[in-house]
Structure 1
């Protein structure tokens, strides 16, 4: 008998898993308050993170390497992809799904109750509505989209710069640091974005806007449009594998707590979730192996470290990280269940730090990352 799957939310994670469920022959209902709303955010990832099944038309731009700039520039020899947002949404088609427009107010087992009083049922309910934690560490960013000629004046020959900590350095060590993120979008456009990687509270968007324009100067005059970003870096609970209904995507811990990337991880894992549903297995056991759980806990410790570093220490930290071989970087950045590789990467970074920074990192790592988030540790 065909199993009926109800997916709550139609962002990249929800739309992606619903799409793969239908490809596998499952009957899918998608519940979304705004099913026709166009996506406008920029989604990017390391190229080797992309699932093989993704339609190539969803790719907006790809580069073979990127630069990271602290006190000096380092070229990271790893491909990087920026999605064509509209094409990504379009290719994750929901044509064969039953789409229900509505706001979810309660989920009781297999029954989903909507604000208008109606209900939707399914044999399996997957929650892709994003994290429900409000008081959470967040990533924030303000960016402008410019033409290639304008971007080239900043890039100075680099194909893309994913972190530039140089300009606008903060003199006051109590202030949160930010960096410039400069990547091609395709169609002759580039995104130049001032980013606060992690803060609790994070830098407000108006402060990031001021920093960006101060950094770019006259380059900002070429802005075609702006982009504003703010999202939590943690799941809806400390242990997302225990939550019900089963959360997937940002709600389910697929946002990397120390980078903010999530879309590729969710798309790559979608077929594991599909396989669990087809087999009648517990999705949490299939998606969250013991090593994946351990890696997530380590990444949360990494977030705790970032939240305690001052601007100078933050720059040194990332210089140490990107000085590692790409294989070690990949273990920490991209592999959800590579416990040995994640530990090796963290150990290698720690070894490259000076004595004072080691003490800071050790203290931050020992602290509970949930201590300042009321109620989160209990889930």
Structure 2
């Protein structure tokens, strides 16, 4: 959500704007993948198999994108997503100047495709375990704004990359409803983060090739390696390929059937010199969410004088908002009068356009009496969320946003990806330690580390929450978040951080149901019973196997296979509660 947790903006966005305009083709090389977007996608190059490796099956050209993939790639907002990813920062040294070169034709243990935070950290973790690792992708800077919970970055040893921290986070959920989160938040220095991750790669011996992968050959035989072809003509062999190229990798992956569709979080932001911010908000806290409806129906400069129940637009400004997609202001006060301000739509399908968000930000600032002096940077953040999970049996692994490690209900992903890199690397190293292990065996180990049955149950719950948020109007959204932050910290922190087990998530749901006002109770029950995400949730909880959930199933309590009976019982309790509430008209 906001600048972070999630990697702001979508990794793997189109780049090469002039080329795209010239040829009419989408060029997806920024994070290491290059393919032509057309109705048949026939321009992906494949490398012919030599006679001695006839058992290797060349990968087919990626198909034309389906509806989910089009959303992952930016949908109708792809042009501004392209502008965001095409930014430059001369203060960030090139990767080629810091990492040893990867020789064309090299035989690798692991090829990591993508040079964002997830790709760099995974490459370092793999190399630290004695594997020969090659990093492949264009030599580009980090350009997104990242905001994280301080305790989560401390947990992965990267707190020294924070350029600014706030002791508290402030929220507004309607007029007169201020919530103090009581949790420290930080702004990541993208220059420090990239330098630190690059240093880890250099110290571990990761080699680098500034190029774009155009095709991957997948092996059929046991112990066989994959082969990669690049736009520059290089041919590389790797026992494991890990795609860390963000949502651009979606065309090269296979996904489960029957899941709700992909949605998107969008945000338009500016870093600017602003007058009046300290009069409107606490300058010592970061503004996590301001869901007050100040972007319409409020005279310029009058929002700070509004009182609960006395809004000029009736119902605390909610009159006429039932069909409106909610958005909120997220802000971090910086030094020398600068503020990072971002109007954010938490999740929507279709995505709320950047033009709408920009207009709302301008009107909100005027209503709050914030005077804009100088804009130093604009940001267009597009984060695909939710949708089907990758299938576990494919011979290519993925990581980070490419592996759906983006929280469906919040958009956070960076901290989770960094947290899970050691386990994914350990699984790959253990698989590759077997002499007969090849691409399929190694990829299977990584997929099991990332998405065992327990994690898939958790993801189904998060997806259920995302689908609920999509359907809530502004008034119900405020009711929901007032309830959410009234929960014990263990639960709301765990939900935001993807650290609750599937059983704990059911307890989270029951607590939310108990504390929620009648309107939210009714919506929760109706959503569980009638929305397809409710059926998807029930399938994962009650119909799925607990196989494979013992080693790295996540969750605060480990989420092992012994959790299965408790999960099923808790899910049954939740379903029973929903039926009782439905029988009482949702007012239970």
**What is the match of residue 360 of structure 1?**
523
Unaligned runs of 5+ in 2: 1-106, 219-225, 252-260, 296-316, 432-441, 536-588
Unaligned runs of 5+ in 1: 372-379
User: Which residue among 226, 239, 259 is the counterpart of 2:410?
Assistant: 259
SS at match of 1:177: coil
Cα shift at 1:56: 3.8
**What is the match of residue 231 of structure 1?**
383
SS at match of 2:519: helix
Q: Say whether residues 1:141 and 2:267 are aligned partners.
A: yes
**What is the match of residue 16 of structure 1?**
121
Q: Say whether residues 1:164 and 2:269 are aligned partners.
A: no
Cα shift at 1:331: 1.8
Cα shift at 1:118: 3.5
Range with bigger deviation, 103-112 or 194-203: 103-112
**What is the match of residue 76 of structure 2?**
none
Post-superposition Cα deviations, 1:288-313, rounded to whole Å, max 9, x if no partner, equal: 34322211111011111111111211
**What is the match of residue 67 of structure 1?**
170
**What is the match of residue 87 of structure 1?**
192
Does the CA contact (< 8 Å) of 1:141 and 1:230 recur in 2? yes
Post-superposition Cα deviations, 1:22-54, rounded to whole Å, max 9, x if no partner, equal: 33332211121x22x111211122222225453
**What is the match of residue 97 of structure 1?**
206
Range with bigger deviation, 154-163 or 86-95: 154-163
Q: Say whether residues 1:283 and 2:446 are aligned partners.
A: yes
User: Which residue among 90, 99, 108 is the counterpart of 2:217?
Assistant: 108
Cα separation, 1, equivalents of 2:340 and 2:275: 12
Cα separation, 2, equivalents of 1:15 and 1:297: 28
User: Which residue among 504, 509, 531 is the counterpart of 1:346?
Assistant: 509
SS at match of 2:262: coil
Cα separation, 1, equivalents of 2:411 and 2:180: 21
Range with bigger deviation, 207-216 or 217-226: 217-226
**What is the match of residue 374 of structure 1?**
none
Cα separation, 2, equivalents of 1:283 and 1:365: 32
Cα separation, 1, equivalents of 2:215 and 2:533: 29
Larger Cα-atom Rg: 2
Cα shift at 1:103: 2.6
Cα shift at 1:257: 0.4
TM-score by length of 1: 0.88
Q: Say whether residues 1:199 and 2:318 are aligned partners.
A: no
Cα shift at 1:275: 1.0
Q: Say whether residues 1:211 and 2:360 are aligned partners.
A: yes
Q: Say whether residues 1:301 and 2:464 are aligned partners.
A: yes
SS at match of 1:324: coil
Post-superposition Cα deviations, 1:53-86, rounded to whole Å, max 9, x if no partner, equal: 5344311212222112102111111222221111
Q: 1:88 to 1:370 in 2, by over 3 A?
A: farther
Cα separation, 2, equivalents of 1:154 and 1:27: 53
Cα separation, 1, equivalents of 2:503 and 2:350: 32
**Structure 1 or 2: larger strand share?**
1
Cα shift at 1:149: 6.5
What is the aligned residue count?
367
Does the CA contact (< 8 Å) of 2:275 and 2:371 recur in 1? no
Q: 1:8 to 1:195 in 2, by over 3 A?
A: same
SS at match of 2:386: coil
Cα shift at 1:209: 0.5
User: Which residue among 142, 147, 152 is the counterpart of 2:278?
Assistant: 152
Cα separation, 1, equivalents of 2:245 and 2:334: 26
